[in-house]
Amino acid sequence: MQKVQFKVNGETVRLTAEPHWTLLDVLRSELNLTGTKRGCEMGDCCACTIILDGRACNSCLVLSGELDGSSVLTIEGLSKDGGLHPVQRAFVDHGAIQCGFCTPGMVMSTIALLNRDPNPSEDEVRLRLAGNICRCTGYTKIIEAVMAASKAMRGGDGIPK
Q: Which is nearer to another protein, 45 or 62 (CB)?
A: 45
- Select from 6-14, 62-70, 78-86, 147-155 the region that touches another protein (CB under 8 A): 78-86
- Select from 5-13, 33-41, 61-69, 118-126 the region that touches another protein (CB under 8 A): 33-41
Decide if residue 140 touches another protein (CB under 8 A). yes
In the complex, minimum distance from the CB of residue 131 to another protein, in angstroms, rounded to a whole number:
13
Q: Where are the alpha helices (DSSP H) in 79-155?
A: 86-93, 103-116, 122-128, 140-153
Decide if residue 37 touches another protein (CB under 8 A). yes
Residue 104 makes CB contacts below 8 A (sequence gap 6+) with 35, 36, 37, 47, 49, 74, 75
- Cβ neighbourhood burial of 42 (10 Å; 0-12, 13-18, 19+): exposed
8 A C-beta contact, residue 131 and residue 108: no
In the complex, minimum distance from the CB of residue 60 to another protein, in angstroms, rounded to a whole number:
10
Q: Which is nearer to another protein, 69 or 160 (CB)?
A: 160
Measure the CA–CA gap between 30 and 64, rounded to whole angstroms.
11
Decide if residue 119 touches another protein (CB under 8 A). no
In the complex, minimum distance from the CB of residue 134 to another protein, in angstroms, rounded to a whole number:
7
Positions touching another protein (CB under 8 A) are 28, 32-42, 44-45, 47, 74-76, 78-79, 84, 88, 91-93, 95, 97-104, 107, 133-141, 160
